[in-house]
Amino acid sequence: MLGDRGSVRISKNLYAPTGEAQLIFPDMPLDGDSAYGQWEPFQPITISMRRWREGSASLEDFYVVFRGFLRSVGRNESIDGQGKPQRFVTVVAHDAGCLFLVERLHPWITFQNRGIPTKDGASTFLNEYLVGTELVSKAHPAGDFLWEVATITTDSMMTAAGYEFQKKFFVKRGTIIPATALSQEGPVWSLLDRYADRPWNEFFVREGEDNPELVFRPAPWFDMDGNPLPDFDDDVNADLRFFEIPMSNVVALNAHRDDAEMVNHVWVVPPQGAAIGYASSVANGMGVVNAETRAKYGDRIQIEETHLLPSQLSVMNNREAEQNEAQEGVKGWAEERQKWLIQAGEQTHNFERGSLTVKGYASYRVGDYFRLKRSAKSESLWWSAYVTQVVHDFQPFNRFLCTLHYIRSDQWVRRKNVQGAYWVERQRGIDVA
């Protein structure tokens, strides 16, 4: 169907609400109509891939690399320079994360509860579930609240497509008081992203074997010494994939470091009510990191806002004693968030980021780690990085490539510890996959 001039390009970014697939193929007769006439917006679409070589067993099974909704279909017709007609169909689809952009929150409708066509809508959900009930002032575990918002507001569309979100939630700390969400306006994604509490946590959609997976987990990062950051526990580790890539598979490698990654002071904007106590902690020097870099690089301040509250907080009320206790709890929570940033930011300017283009493998996905076997003769230059974006690029009879965009690579540090690294990294051996 793709022909020799068609192509498939699939892109998924860990920090974007939705992934995208683009298919280009020649228009052709199909069931009494053209191929263009068989597609319609918002119909479900699934794309599976695998690498295969002529005359040998498949190197991998089929993997679902995309599952979502067709968003647009177009047909382009033209005459080329030799007078031959050209007809191509272009299909653009988004994964299930697009539903969080389609469904929107409208505070005016939420409070007035008028003019809403369906009770499954996001605004009606907030109104019926929160407004006027005891739930509005109770602290909910962050995972419970985000799961209910994400699934209830998209249930009708997911059901119509034959999909069902699979829950992959690993965040065990942090609560939300729904009253703070009632003024949220815009796509449902804006509410989910706000209370996912980045950069401490991650919230994204990825493809499972049978259905889309909704992932909410602590950021699975390591510091410069290889120690996991707080909340990166065994459950999170089990959710990750660590895959090795031989240098023989690499088509292109682009790595860089710059002073934009430098930080020597971190500041957490805490939830309302804890600012004064937290400010006194910061004034005592708690937020300093990479102190020796101040003279050379100047003040490099990282400011992050936390929207979650400590897990021990149960209800919002006006009793002075409980208010004071809650304020101390939130202050401690902000200080913990600050310590996380300090550990994450330690020598962060020595981490590399960049992109790696390799032979296409459908199993590569965002939110995993790869280890590049840079020198086949020595492991001293093998380095690791965290994948934040994956792009699959396929054209029949031409190419199947995969580009991995990454952060927090330890390549530069490893090179500094190897004498003659320039020559060592060029040592080749038999290592083909």
pLDDT in tens, 216-230: 999 999 998 889 999
**What's the pLDDT score for residue 255?**
94
Share of the chain above pLDDT 70, in %: 80
| Digit-coded pLDDT (tens) for 71-81 | 999 988 888 88
pLDDT at 355 over 90: yes
Q: Lowest-confidence range among 18-32, 64-78, 300-314, 400-414? A: 300-314
pLDDT at 159 over 50: yes
Buried residues in 419-432 as b, exposed as e (16+ CB within 10 A): eebeebbeeeeeee
Query: What span, in angstroms and rounded, lies between the C-alpha atoms of 386 and 369?
Result: 5
User: Do the Cβ atoms of 216 and 196 come closer than 8 Å?
Assistant: yes
Of all residues in the chain, what percent are helix, strand and coil, respectively (each to 5)?
A: 30, 35, 35
| Mean local confidence (pLDDT), 60-86 | 88
pLDDT band at 398 (very low <50, low <70, confident <90, very high): confident
DSSP string, 318-361: --HHHHHHHHHHHHHHHHHHHHHHHHHHTTGGG-EEEEEEEE--
pLDDT at 308 over 50: yes
**What's the pLDDT score for residue 95?**
96
* Predicted TM-score (pTM) of this structure: 0.87
**What's the pLDDT score for residue 324?**
62
Q: Lowest-confidence range among 236-240, 292-296, 367-371? A: 292-296
Position with higher pLDDT, 432 vs 46: 46
pLDDT at 118 over 70: no
| Mean local confidence (pLDDT), 17-45 | 86
| Mean local confidence (pLDDT), 267-282 | 61
pLDDT at 373 over 80: yes
